[in-house]
Each structure stands twice: as C-alpha cells, then as structure tokens.
Structure 1
Amino acid sequence: MMIKYLVRVGSAAALGMILPLTSSPARAMTLDGVFVLERVFNGYPNSTLSVTNDYPTQVQFEESAFGEQVGAFANRHDALFSDDGGTNPRTFDIGESFAVQANVTLEDGSNTPRKEAGIRINSPITGDVLFIVNSDAGEIVAFGGGGPFYIFGKNATGDGYTPGQTIFMRMIYQPNSNTLEDPGTLEYIINRGNGVETSGPLGFDNLEKGPVDFEVGLYAQATPNDPVADFSIVTYTNIAGNDGNATLGDVNLDGAVNGLDVNPFVERVISGPYQVEADLNEDGSVDGLDVNPFVDVVVSGGAGMAAEARIVPEPATAALAGVGMVVLVGCLFTQSGKPG
C-alpha cells in the first residue's frame, strides 16, 4: 500500500531556519530493559510458562496447562523496568518521576475466571497501583496503592476491553511537592483505536501523596477455569520508559528539539524501532501521522520545553534540516507498507 501522508510545505521550509542550542540540558534518564520476575503469585506451580524478553520490541508471557490446584488464587509474572539493561529492576523514590508505555494484548482461552494485564507500581510501603485491562468485566481501570482511581470503560457500559484487542497504555508520574496542597499525580492514557484518551493528571490520596520506594512494571496474571484447556497470552510491544520529562520531538535525546532531530526521526518513521520521542501524536506507533506534529514542534522549538531550552533561529543549519525533510517526504511517497 502506498503511503499518502503529506508534509505542509511552509512548515517544512521553516525547518531550514532552525539551529540547535550551543549548550543543551542534561540527557533524560532512559529505562532500557526489563527484569523478569516469574511466579510472583504461584497458585499453579505446575503450569507451562514461556517468557519472551525482547525489550523494547516485545515482552510476552504465555501460560497454559495450569493443572489441578484446589483453592488456588492465580499466577502472576512481572517485567520490571530497569536502567541497567535488565540486570536489576530500578527502585524509584517518591520524588522521581517516570513515564512508561506499551501496546498491550491479552488473549485467553476463557474470559472467566479473571485474567489481567497492564502497568503496575509495586511498593512494599504504600501498596500497589494497577492500571489494567481484565478479561471478565472488560474493565480498563486504574486503582490501588493510594493512587487515583479512574475507569475508561467496562463491559457493563458497552465500552469495555475485549480479549484479543490491542490497546495502547501509558502511565505518567510527577511527584510535584508530594504535599496535601501539591500531591504527586498519575496520568493514565490509552488509545484503543479511536484516538488518544486521557484521565489528565490526578492526585494521590495516601498519607505520603505519592508512592514510596517503588518499582514499575508490566505484568500478566491468570486464574484458569480448566486445568488443561485454558490459557493466557499477554503480549507487550513498542515498550518505552523514561523519567517522565522527555520532550516529544527530541529524537536524538540531546535535550533540544531542532534540525539535528530530523534524520533520526526519518529513520524511526521508515524503519523503526519505536521511540516515544518520535511518537508525536502519542498513539503508540511511529508513522506518517507523526510527520506534521513533528514539523510543528521543531518549528516552535519543542512543545512544553522551558524557555532556556528552546532553540534559536539562525540560518546555519538550513542544509541539514532541509535535506532531512526532503528525504522524509521522498520516503513517505515511495515506501510500501506502513512504517513502524
């Protein structure tokens, strides 16, 4: 299929007037792997479990043949975000922000008893915050651990999650002052194919006004209705995580949005891999729909950036930016299939 996305000519031309900062802010922390922790709950110790850890492309938990286990609750497996390539899970303190996201698919043999997938905060002190989809009620919901409750939909109201569906999920934590007047906040974001939906930033209501000494991860949890036939497959793709302050458009991660981001952005659109800074429309994929928003943020110097971090216009990088956008336009008109 020929790609038909267009770049506005005026905006693309304006990129020729963009110059990078002579000094850039510090590079943001990047979560660069996951540490897999199997059988956090192990109600069915004889189940067959297969785990794929190909972060950030895919993390998958496939479980079947649970076996008989009278009175068992569930099996649960975590993939905890790491900043050392997956060797260890990262422990955050209450004052550290983060943003994590993935495309989530939950498949099962039977919707009941419940199977779950999603993003979680694990804290031994303030409890666990869950942002999940589940199989039985079809809920897309966040709750627990003093975190703000929010529900996007459920089967009972006709807007729930159906197993087999892929849904984009993102969680953002900002500590603010962690006080009664200025609590830490979580924002929950989804895209189930109808555009981006967000809770907006919502405050913690626990005593600490945020999570304490916590880990952040993806997970799979299942309770089978049949010891042989039931199964659960939870797949995460296009996984990304950072300190919550990454700037959309800063594809080369140098702290500024400018002409130096053009060629890396072109590469992400045409051949991947997925990168959150290149996902300008925040829909869980990097493709032609991100082109015009990218142009806009480069021209404006970076959406939401502090004044001292904005770029200043000079003509010196006209060739760099101009050539990059010409390449992008050409690729979008000649590349077959959807870029990822």
Structure 2
Amino acid sequence: MSEVKAKINVLDYLGIGTAIFAAFAISAIPSFSWRAFIFACIAAAIMMPVNIRRLAKIIKQEIPILHRVAIAFVLLIILGPLSVLDGEDQKTRQLVALQAQEQKAQEEKYNSVLSQGMTATSPEVAYKSLDAARSIKPLPPEAESKYMESAGEYGLRIMKENPHLALTMLQQSVSSGRASKEVKKAFDEMQAKIQQEQAKAQREQAKAQKEQSIAALVSEGKKQFDAKSYAAVIETHKKLKAADPQNTHLDSLKSQSQDELAEQVRAASEAKKVLEVAGEKPENSAWDGSVKAVKNWMKANLPDPDSTKDEEWWKVVPTKAKDGLPCWGVRAQFRTKNQFGAYELVNMYFHIRHNEVIEVTQ
C-alpha cells in the first residue's frame, strides 16, 4: 500500500522556518543579547500551533527547489538583522570595556603619582608628581596645598636655569597664599627685574623705530628731489626736522628745491610775458625736434633749401630780441649747400614771434 504524501501548506513552511530561526536565536543567548532572547520567544510562540508529527513527515518529503529557495530567503531576511544588531552590541560592549579599562589605568596612575608626591621630601619630586596627578583630575585640598608650596620651593632652585618657568611657579605659589617669605621676596625681585628689562626693551625698540623712520624720510626726500617734486622735498624736510632737529641730511636738497621753485615761478612769470608779446610757444616736432616757423624761414631764405640736412635742434625757450621785447628762441644746427654748391655746417639762433622768425643770430 503506497504512502500518501501529505500536502504542504504555508503554515508548514512557516513552522520549518521558525524552528530553524528559534535554534539560531537560542544559540545567541550566551552573548547575553536581549534582542536574541526576544527573537527566541517570538519563534517559540509561532512554532506552537505546528503539529510536530506533521513537521517530521514534511521534513522526510522531497521539498521542491522553489520552496527551498523561498525558505532560504525567509531565513535570510529574519536572521540578517539579528546578526547585525548582535554585532553592534558586541562593539558597544567592547568600547565600554575599553573605556572602563582606560579609566581604571588613569585612576591607578593618579593614585600612584599622588602618593609619590605626598611622601616626597624633594620639592622637585613633589612638584612634578603632584603636577602629573593634577593633570588627571583635581587634587585633594591637602595635596593642592603641598603642590603650591613645592612650586615655590622648586621655583627658587631653577631661577638661574629657567627663569621663565621659575617665575610661573613662584607666581602660582604666591597667588595661592602658600608661599614662604623667601619665595615672596624672590618673586618680587624677579618681577622688578622683568619690568626693568621690558622698559629697556621698549626704549630700544622705540629708538630703532625712530631711526628707521628718519632713514625712511631721508630716502623719501632724495627720491622726491630726483623726481623734481621740489615742494614735496620741502615738506619731507619739515617732517625730518620735527623728528630729529639735528639731522642735516636734507638741508642741501631743501635749499636747492627752494631755488628750483623760485626759478619755476620766475620762468612762469617770464613765459606769461612772452605769451602776451610773442604769442603761443612754438612746439618742437615730436619726430625730429624741428620747429615749423624755422623750417618756413629756411625754405624762403636758404640758397638750396631742399639740400638741407638737420643735425640738431634745441628746445624752444623764452628769450628777448634786439628790441628788448620778449620772444621765443631756438637754436638749430644743420648742413646746407651754399651759393657755390658746397655743403657747410650752419649753427644759428632763431627769434620767433607769433610763429614767424623775426631775426637770426649766430
């Protein structure tokens, strides 16, 4: 008689899945995870309505491949979060244990250096030990008092080797009110000495700054003179005298600048008079320096003007003609053919009014 295979329904698969899941969850209980315990309880509750005998029959039967995949997928979904959560708990416990271990080590170190500092007879050992303990956590009142006393005594010993550290330690002791008379006296003397040194350094710094400022003014005045900024030179000379009345570096340049300014005023006045009598100033050509009024005179008066070759042109300046009245003057040097057809070098001075040459001199 053939055996009739039992029909497998959803509840059967659920029973299989929860049974396996319960086994995994219960196995996680030794790690003391409350999540594992809760999952185990849930699995057991789901497992209760499943018929154990029927489950045994189901296990003996051949389960289709798709059903196996479905079971594996369900187990993965259920067991995955459990493993992740349990892993996080493990990390948290390890971190807490590590922190507790570090705290214990710090406490042991604190007690060790505190005991060493309290029993030490040497101010150096007492100060360094109690300072190490103080860096971990506050000292008890008795230890704090000894720390301040040892700071003053140790500070006295290292005054020559390390005065800055010694001053800090003496100040600690004095501020706490635990310093001896010797410590207080040493602290006051060091403070007075430091104040004197600071005042000296400030004076030297001010002197150096003043010297730099004076040197900068002298340099600036020379540059201004080279740039023909004569009014600026006079102003800089005034600033220099205000900073250093005995300094004479710019005296000569100041006098020359005053002369130059006076000459500029005189030239401007003369140019104004020339402008009124002789008209606008003729301009030297930017190309070759020639003056148009002189070129016109050459064309009208030289034997062979086309043969003229310019050699040199001077700048147009205000001057006076033979009649004593102002005019514009310019000197020109050129080569030209004479009446015999030979080239000769000519150097002439031309007097100009209203863009016309009025007279020519050598």
Which one has the bigger helix percentage?
Answer: 2
Fold similarity call, TM over 0.5:
no
Superposition TM-score, scaled by structure 2 size: 0.16
Superposition TM-score, scaled by structure 1 size: 0.17
Which one has the bigger strand percentage?
Answer: 1
